[in-house]
Structure 1
Amino acid sequence: MADNQNKSEHDQREKPMSFIAMVVWTGLIGGILMSSIAYLAYVFNFTEIHPNVILDPWVNGNWKKGWLGTVISIILIGIVSIGAALIYYAALRKFKSIWAGAVYGIILFLLVFFVLNPIFPGISSFGELKRDTVITSVCFYILFGVFVGYSISYEENEVQNRVEDQAENSS
C-alpha cells in the first residue's frame, strides 16, 4: 500500500515547464521588468521616452498619458518582448556567452530606434535625442538582451546536460 501511495504522490508532482513556455515567461517578465524600470528612468529624467510611446500609433485619447496608459503600455511591451525572446530562442540559444545577449540587445535597440522609429511618433529621430536618453536606452536594451539571452542559453545548456546524462545512464 505504501508503494502505491508513493507512486500516486510521484504522479501528482508538477511536471517541469516546457522549454517554449519558459521562453515565453522569460520574454514577458523581461519586457515588463525592463519597461517598468525604464518608466522609473523616465520619471527621474534619465530618458525622455515614456513607455506609452507603444500606444501612440494605434490609440487615441488622453487616457494613454495617465496611469492606465502606462500600465497597459508596460504589459504590451511585455507581450511584444515574448516575440523577441522567441526570436532569440530560434536563432541564438546555442550561444553560451553573455555577449550574445548583449549584442542581441544592441540589435534590438538599432531595430527600434532606426528601423521602427517612424512608427512611433513619441520617439524623436536618433539625432534629436539627448545623450542621456540614448545611453539609458542602450543600457536597457543590453540588459534585456542579457536577461533573455542568458536565461534561454542557460536552460538550453541544462537540457543538453540532461540529455547527455540520460544517454550515459541508459548505456
Structure 2
Amino acid sequence: MSSEWQKRDEESASQIVNVLIIGFWGGILWSFIGIVACFFNFMKFSPKFILTSWSGAHWIEGWLGTVITLLIFSILSMAAALLYYALLKKFQNMMAGIIYGAVLWILLFFIIKPVFSGLPSMEQLKGNTGITSFCIFILYGVFIGSSISYEYQEKQKKNVPDIKTT
C-alpha cells in the first residue's frame, strides 16, 4: 500500500515539474515574441515594461535587459501555468486557453496596471498595440492550456487499466 502512495506522489510531482517546464518555456517564447512585435512596431510598448516601470537604467534597453525580461516573464509564467493546472487542466478544447489568455490580458491592463508605469493605459492602447498584445496573450493562453491539458489527458490515459475482451 505504501509503495502505491509513493508511486502516486512521484507521478504527481512529475506532472507538476512538467507544468513548470511548460510555463517556463511559454514565458520565454511569448515574451520574446512580444519583444519582436515591439521591435517591428506592432506594439508601442515592450515586455521590458516590467523593468522600465521601476528603473530607467540604460542597460535595460540592451541584451541584458532582454535576458532579464525573458527570465522574469518565465518565472511569472510558471506561476500562471500552475494556476491553469489547478483550475482548468481537465478542459480538452482550445477555448479554455483562449479565455485564460484573455483573462490574463484583462488582469494586466485593468487590475495590475497601476503597478507598472511603463505599461500604456487603455486610452493609449489603440490599433496595432492593443490588438497585438491581446493576440499574444490569447496565443500564450492556448499554448499553456493545450500543453497542460494534453499532458494531463495523457497521464489519465496511462492510469486507466486496459480492458481486454476475450
Task: Give the TM-score normalised by structure 1.
Answer: 0.84
Aligned length: 153
Which whole-Å CA distance do the structure 1 matches of 2:32 and 2:16 have between them? 24
Select the structure of larger CA radius of gyration. 1
**Paired position in structure 2 for 1:110:** 106
Aligned equivalent of 1:126 = 122
User: 1 CA distance for matches of 2:95 and 2:136?
Assistant: 15
Separation of aligned partners in 1, 2:100 and 2:76: 15
TM-score scaled by length of structure 2: 0.86
- AA at the equivalent of 2:112: L
Give the Cα separation in 1 of the matches to 2:22 and 2:37. 22
| Structure 1 portions without partners, runs of 5+ | 1-14
Distance in 2, matches of 1:85 and 1:59, equals: 28
Structure 1 segments of 4+ aligned residues over 3 angstroms from their partners: 57-60
Residue 22 (str. 1) matches residue 15 (str. 2): no
Corresponding residue for 1:63?
59
SS in 1 for 2:48: helix
Q: Is the 8 A contact 2:53 2:119 kept in 1?
A: no
The answer on 1:34 being equivalent to 2:22 is: no
Equivalent position SS for 2:64: helix
Please list, as runs of the form range in 1=range in 2, the aligned pairs for 1:43-122 lying within 5 A after superposition: 43-59=39-55, 61-122=57-118
Q: Superposition RMSD on alpha carbons, in Å?
A: 1.7
Q: Judge conservation of contact 2:91–2:149 (CA < 8 Å) in 1.
A: yes
For residue 59 of structure 1, report the CA deviation from its aligned partner.
Answer: 4.0
CA contact (8 A) 2:34 2:136 kept: yes
Q: What is the rounded CA distance, in whole Å, between the counterparts of 2:117 and 2:104 in structure 1? A: 18
Identity %: 45
Which residue type is aligned with residue 47 of structure 1?
Answer: M
- Give the drift of 1:61: 2.0
Seen in structure 2, the aligned counterparts of structure 1 residues 78 and 93 have a Cα distance that, compared at 3 Å, is: same
